[in-house]
Structures are given as structure tokens and as C-alpha cells.
Amino acid sequence: MEKKVRVRFAPSPTGGLHLGGVRTALFNYLFAKKHNGTFILRVEDTDQTRFVSGAEEYIESCLAWCGIHPDESPVAGGEFGPYRQSERKPSYRKYAEQLIASGNAYYAFDTSEELDAKRREVPNFLYGQTSRMQMRNSLTLSEDEVSTLLAQNTPHVIRIKIPEDEHVSFMDMIRGHVSFDTNLIDDKVLLKADGMPTYHLAVVVDDKAMEISHIFRGEEWLPSAPIHILLWRYLGWDDEMPHWVHLPLILKPDGNGKLSKRDGDRLGFPVYAQNWADPKTGDLTKGFRELGFMPGAFVNLLAMLGWNDGTDQEIFTLAELIDKFSVDRISKAGAKFDFEKAKWYNHEWIKRADAQDLLVTVKDEFEAKGITLNDDDYALKVIDLIKDRCNLLTDFITQSEYFFALPASYDVASVKGKWTEEKATYFNAFAAVLTDGISAAAMEEKFKEMAAEHALKPGELMLPFRIMLVGGKFGPAVFDIASTLGTEETRKRISAALIAFG
């Protein structure tokens, strides 16, 4: 009987959540939901020196914003908890000691000073097959010496003993057959001096305890795979080893290397899902949410970084992604991040969104600018009129602010050269004949009819009319703007602009 699908996203609470991390969570989630499985959030907080207060809550907030809801987590609970590694500390030493007893690990008593001296003495020093017998550990010390040191609570770590002249091979669901030469792998620390496990031991023990069936993680973890496979083998769990899925990297826009926060800072786009404020320095790193991305668009663009369904379709809802997702459509090659393409996704999502679904977000954006939108029906009309012009949710401010307040200024320079007294007379007359509730089409017809009566060309009047309404040369169709503003407001704006035009 095939094992039930159980996958996990296991971030460290050390800072902002990179979009690569969100994509890893997303692919785990899509696979779980596709196969009626379980998606788990497990917090890997064993490195207390890098732990950042608030980072765990931030991760949970990012996932919730994306609609990626864990079935089991520190918050949701579950029968395989606890879901923070720091709360599982007592379970790890037992397995580290088991590895020592089987001859697959050893105690290492080397001090920091001794290790530093060795690194200075030996360029690119690695603690492993060629050096372990020159160091202070339970392989070079007598049993009595080791017992004495342990009895005296001498600080020590436990290291895996990597075998010589072997190849550790496995099948990766994306990459196929992968093999590593053990002679190139050092003896990684499994248990630190403070009793906390390193990632290598904790991830294997926890994956076994939580009955994880498939491990989706970034390609950068490939070099760790042989260590983890050896641990599964040495702990006697070969038959329960999960399937491996190493995801392609998200690359810099030029394709040269993994996308980093520094690249985003340098090129002017975010790489975090949401704003992250460093609690120590107060430094703020901007995120996609605050920049104005819709969560559906963010998830959509992440899914397309390294995956496609084999068709030309690019816009997917989360439900559609679950339905279409398959590991065999994930690319081996890294995916270049293109911020212009990311904005295109967001633009498409905004265009397709129902105005009602955008209302709360748009009102919040205006509230942040000190403008309260009290009339929902009017706001919905405005949203419908200008959403096709918005790449980001924040664009609703610049694209529609004039619907809620008189223009702060007018682009008089664009009018001055061709402005005449006859045009001023025309606009006064046009304002006088506008009737309440007039449609955009009827207004346009009246506009052109009166232009003929005043011996003016409609084309010469359109730009001044637009500037009267919005202050500049922008916005949707001018009669749609006037119709939405309403007759009274349109008259008021014509009058104010005529004074400004002189």
C-alpha cells in the first residue's frame, strides 16, 4: 500500500521570507492537495544564534496571505507535533548516541581555538576522512579518556562518520539518478555542544517522526542529500525514506546565479513576500504585498517560475494550479526572475478581478493616503473604470485620486498655446446644458454637436476637457470620467479650470 502523501515546508525563523521559500511552500502545498495529502509547516529553529523574534509569525502571515494554509503547524497543531524543532530537543540526542553505538558517528572534543588553528594551518580544511585521525575525538582517544571527558561534561559535538570510497546514489523526481562521491564529503556535525541538533540530524529525525512522504526543497540542498540519505540508512529507516524533489533555483534577471535580497535592492524590486522589519536594526525590506501585488497573482507568478502545464496558459487560480500540478512538469534548469513579467501577472489579475473583490484593498490604500472613501457604489464604478490601467494595487491611487478630490493642479502648459476666448465660451455653454444622469455616450454626442455650433473642432476641445477633469493628460475615456463624476461635479471642475486657464 502506497504511503499517504505528507509534505512539509520547514523554514528557519531568521528573517524575511524570500520568494524562493514561498515557491517551495507552494509546490509542497500543490502536491499535497493534488494527492489528497497533508501539508505541514515545521519551524526549524535549532540554530538559536540566528533565531529572530517575530520571524515565525511573519512566515505564518506570508503563507496565509498567499492562501497556503498548513494542515499541521505550530498554530494549527496536529498529532505529529510539536512543530518547532526547539521543542523536540530531547528526541535528537538519542539518535545521535545510536549512531555512535553503531560506529557511524563519534564524539569530537576539539575546541574552537583548536579548529581555528587547524584552519590556519591547512588551507580549505575539512574535518573528515583525511583529518579526523589527527583531531581530538573518540576515534583517536581511548575509551577511558572519552568516558572521563563525558563525565566531566567537557563540551563536545557529535559528528557523522562519512565512509570512504563509496557512492551515495538516489533518484530525484526532477533530476533522475544523482550520485555523490563520499570522499568529497566532510564529517558534518549532527549534535552541537549545546545539545541542539544541526539541520542534518534534525531534518531526518523529524521527517521520519512526521511520516513525511516527499521532500520538496531547493536545489541548494542537493549537497546535503548524501548526508541525509546516509542517516536514513544508518538509523535503519531505508524502507521509509521519502521521495526526493530538488527544485530549480530562482535566478537573477541576467541568469547569473541565485536571486538574492541584494539583487532586489540593487535592481529596485522586492524579493520578500511581505515587508520585513529587522527587529534589531529597524531596517525595512519591502515585500510584494505592500508594493501592490494581489496574493493570487503572486502565487501564479511563483508557480510559473520553473513549472508549466504544457500549454500556453499562464493565468491560473490556486484551484487550477492544484488541478494541473505535476512534478514531471517542473524544469531542471533555474528560472530567471523577470520583474516586468511579474507586474504583467498582477495587471492581468487586477483586470480580471471583480470590483467588489478589490474594494476593501482599494479603500485601505486610500485610507493610508488620508482619503476616506465613504460611497461604496461610487468607488465600485471608479474601480471598474480604471482597473485595466493598473499594474499594482497602489496604482489605484494615482489612476483614480481625481475621482475623489478636485485636481490639486492643472497642466496649464499643455493648454495655453491654443487656448482662446471662444473655447472658454464653449465650455461655459457646455456646462450649462449638462443634465443630471447623462450617459457618457449622450454627453459625447452633445459635446460634438455644440462644438459644431461654436465652429470648433472636437479634437481641439478634448485635451482641455480632460485636463479640467483630472488635472493632466491621463486617465480613461474622458466622457466616461465625466459621466462617473456626475453633472454637478463636472460643472464644478469646468468652472475651476477656466479660472486656472485664465
DSSP type of residue 407 = -
- What are phi and psi for residue 250, nearest 5 degrees? -95, 120
Q: Count the Cβ atoms, other than its own, within 10 Å of residue 221.
A: 16
CA distance 57 to 333: 32
Rounded CA gap, 131 and 266, in Å?
Answer: 42
What ranges make up the beta strands (E) of 219-366? 243-247, 250-251, 276-277, 284-285, 335-336
CA-to-CA separations, 161 to 64, 186, 464, in angstroms, rounded: 41, 8, 80
* CA-wise closest residue to 45 among 21, 69, 15, 19: 15
Residue 261 a catalytic site member: yes
Distance spanning both ends of the chain, measured CA to CA: 85
DSSP letter assigned to residue 273: S
Per the CB < 8 A criterion, the answer to whether 434 and 443 are in contact is yes
Catalytic residue among 34, 89, 261, 286: 261
> Environment class of residue 162 by beta-carbon count within 10 Å: exposed (0-12), middle (13-18) or buried (19+)?
buried
Residues in contact with 48: Cβ distance below 8 Å, sequence separation at least 6, in sequence order: 86, 194, 196
Here the cell at position 299 is 502565487
**CB–CB of 158/96 below 8 Å?**
yes
- Cα dihedral 79, 84, 86, 87 in deg (nearest 10): -30
Q: How far is CA 483 from CA 254, 381, 391, 437, in A?
A: 47, 10, 24, 8
CB 355 within 8 A of CB 384: yes
Q: 152, 224 in Cβ contact below 8 A?
A: no
List residues with catalytic annotation.
261
